[in-house]
């Protein structure tokens, strides 16, 4: 991938939240492959150690984005390590409960909103002064196709992902004059253990087999596929490079064209 995206170089500093594993790791690796200086945060010390082993030039912070004190410490460490910021990828998120609304506990609701929505706010409010000081930059919020459609049994997750698109458009308006672009990516189901857990939970709730739920998820998109994390990483690179210089305030689907998120036959 090196050299494919103009404007990304060794002078570019990128922060990826939840960047030591899963989709975040794939995004961080793609940015590093462009020569960018990458800083990641994650809640797993083990994942951070593995990431640092594979990317020794990267820097990292053990932090939970839903904890404002952790986020303050994250930015103090980022400032010491790099002194600047050009790219923010708000990737941290959890699946939340899979249950009808009347069965969702308040603690599960609060935790999902704290990570999937409030955490993005906590990080962005401290990232913006650094982006302004750098003369502009790019923020990419990882939303979901659930931020564009209703999704049965996923109330807190859907609420957070819809709200994140609203914030994306609002921040694009606020920050455009400072040459800061803000976009949201809306992946469909992404291959990997996280979607496997969601499918298993939905199958248990609906009283059907995981294979049936998996097929219903595949049937939700016109292309009948699950997304690869690399597809998301490539779009992040595009948006954060000079190629995406005129793109802001957008919610971009990477989902094979979702037709519905209903699991009804």
CATH of residue 146's domain is 3.40.50.720
Residue 120 lies in a domain: yes
Residue 102 lies in a domain: yes
Residue 38 lies in a domain: yes
Contact of 75 with 33, CB cutoff 8 Å: no
pTM, two decimals, is 0.90
95, two tokens? 């699946």
The pLDDT score that the predictor gives to residue 264 is 53
DSSP 254: E
Q: What is the bridge-based pairing of β-strands 59-62 and 37-42?
A: parallel
157 in catalytic set: yes
Residue 202 lies in a domain: no
The pLDDT score that the predictor gives to residue 1 is 40
Q: Of the listed 5, 149, 157, 217, which one is catalytic?
A: 157
Q: Which residues contact 41 (CB under 8 A, 6 or more apart)?
A: 15, 16, 17, 18, 19, 60, 61, 62, 63, 65, 74, 92
What are the residue ranges in the chain where pLDDT is below 70? 1-3, 263-265
Residue 206 lies in a domain: no
CA quadruple 165, 170, 176, 180: dihedral positive or negative? negative
Residue 242 lies in a domain: yes
d(CA 29, CA 36): 10
Residue 203 lies in a domain: no
The pLDDT score that the predictor gives to residue 177 is 98
How far separated are the first and last CA of the chain, in Å rounded? 41
Domain hosting residue 84, numbered range: 13-189+228-254
- Number of folded domains in the chain? 1
The pLDDT score that the predictor gives to residue 181 is 98
pLDDT tens sequence across 44-55: 999 999 999 999
The pLDDT score that the predictor gives to residue 2 is 45
């Amino acid at each position: 991938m090196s050299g494919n995206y103009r404007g990304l170089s060794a002078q570019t500093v990128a922060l990826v939240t939840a960047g030591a594993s899963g989709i975040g790791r794939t995004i961080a690796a793609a940015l590093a492959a462009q020569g960018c200086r990458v800083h990641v945060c994650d809640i797993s010390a083990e994942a951070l150690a593995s990431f640092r082993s594979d990317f020794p030039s990267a820097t990292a912070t053990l932090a939970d984005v839903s904890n404002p004190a952790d986020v303050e410490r994250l930015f103090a460490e980022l400032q010491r390590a790099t002194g600047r910021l050009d790219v923010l990828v708000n990737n941290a998120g959890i699946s939340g409960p899979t249950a009808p609304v009347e069965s969702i506990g308040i603690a599960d609701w609060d935790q999902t909103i704290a990570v999937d929505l409030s955490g993005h706010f906590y990080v962005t409010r401290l990232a913006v002064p650094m982006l302004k000081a750098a003369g502009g930059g790019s923020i990419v919020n990882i939303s979901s196709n659930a931020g564009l459609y209703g999704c049965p049994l996923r109330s807190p997750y859907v609420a957070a992902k819809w709200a994140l698109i609203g914030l994306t458009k609002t921040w694009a308006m606020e920050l455009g004059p400072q040459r800061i672009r803000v976009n949201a990516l809306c992946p469909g189901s992404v291959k990997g253990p996280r979607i496997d857990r969601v499918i298993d939970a939905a199958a248990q709730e609906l009283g059907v087999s995981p294979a049936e739920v998996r097929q219903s998820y595949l049937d939700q998109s016109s292309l009948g596929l699950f997304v690869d994390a690399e597809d998301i990483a490539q779009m992040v690179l595009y948006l954060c490079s000079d190629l995406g210089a005129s793109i802001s305030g957008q919610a971009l689907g990477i989902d094979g064209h979702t037709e519905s998120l209903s699991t009804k036959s």
